[in-house]
Structure 1
Amino acid sequence: MLFINTRPDDRASVLTQALNEVGYQVEALPLLELVAEPFSKALQQLYLALVETQVIVVVSPTAVDIGIRYLQQAGLQLDQLKHIQWVAVGQATAKALAEFKIVSVVPEVETSEGMLELPILKQQKDLTKIAFWRGLGGRQFMMQQLQQQGVEILNFVLYHRQCPTQSFIAFPEIVKKIGLNQPVAVLISSEASWNHWQQLCSQHACAADWIYLVLGARLVQVLERAQRQMGKGFNIIQLENLSASEIIHRMSDWQGHV
């Protein structure tokens, strides 16, 4: 079966190798690239407010890299943030933090809903201020939920997402290889990547039998809503995380029931 690996170039190779080893044909089509926002006076003020902040939620390895770089640019040292409790959205982000000797908490389910279930966020009654190191448009749901609980949010928009230019060139070439009603699996890891995928599909129609592997229940709802609006049928498989083992396991389950 053809599998379209939409992870960013720097995170795609491990999954591609694992899929190849179990017999999938893999096409690389990154749907997101992350571009740093410039350091600004607004970010400077947010960094200075970290000395009174209890928790920093970090949403990606990119947020770690840019966040730490801009921390130093703001004139702060990590030693000044020893009181902070760090939350990483997933193991890759936790590993990136660990390179700076930062210990973080990681949710069992690597989604906004999973993070909201962490005791540090759910049970700490004196929690008043949380910082988010994130990309433009990301983690809106989580921030809204915490704001409704009366928590002040420090919103660090460190980068923005865009669809790589190369993917606009590569997609029509991939479409040429796909036969009518051929089953094709596509990894969808975020709402932004889904929006970019739809943009590509609108420019180059393809009559494949799409199987979307989707991270988390809320993103599944986004695709189900799009399915109703478009009046198109496609398969949706929910993922708990983006590990190769999880993806291969879910695909095997789905193929066993088809």
Structure 2
Amino acid sequence: MNVTLELPDLSRRLADLPPLPAALAEVLQALRQGGLTMERCIALIERDPSLAARCLRLANSPFYGRPGRIGSVSGAVTLLGLRTVNHLLTAVTLQQAIRPEQCPGFDLNGFWRHAMNVAMAASTIGPRLDLDPSEAFLAGLLHDLGELMLVLLVPEIVAEVERRTAAGEPVRQVERALLGTDHVEVGSAVARRWNFPPAIVEAIADHHRGGPAQAQSQAPGLAMLLSQIHQLTGPLERGWTPEQAMAMVPESTWQALRFVPEERSDLLLRLSTSLAAIGQA
């Protein structure tokens, strides 16, 4: 395929994107201003069976130590905290508003499962790096927003990207060859256009930078957290057991995330259990 998308073309296509969905804009605005009360949040969730189910799954995940014990939306909101639940509402609203069904090769459910996997891990590990857990959760949910946008902008080229990456070529390398840009640049551009918080824009823009070899020199931040979490979740998402994944996680990742050897096996087991539960969604 010889079609490419130059950056001026990308700017024009981004300008043609619809504004941030009204419901999502309302949620984000209320969140920033403290305008979503616990009661209002619970009422919104209880009206949406899909969102209610997601909240209960998240609250009952091994990450929160209450598997099977949270049976109500109010209990889930109390456990998770208002900001984390509102960020989940953000993701669900975005998912409902943006459905790139014109690209048959794109696995939308798989996209959101991966996003939730990273979000849950980020919210759990973030406090070790003195990062806000709800902000880490939102960064995890939205870190690959550019992939979703590319499906909307150029579905026919994304289909070719999917074909070539399935054969083993690096995703961003293929995207740049075919598009003149990649999902990281597109995602951060959309996040800026939609006025996401600066920390989230930065995390989207930088989460692929600084692999394990550079982890020790990076200051703790959302982008570094997301980069290192992929070292943990990647083997598990590919089907490896926690024991097998242990041998595949670089020592620099453990050190960057501040996990001593005695804690590592338990984290991978919790991650694996939670990924399996999300996969059943």
Q: State the TM-score, normalizing by the size of structure 2.
A: 0.26
| Greater fraction helix | 2
Larger Rg: 1
Q: State the TM-score, normalizing by the size of structure 1.
A: 0.27
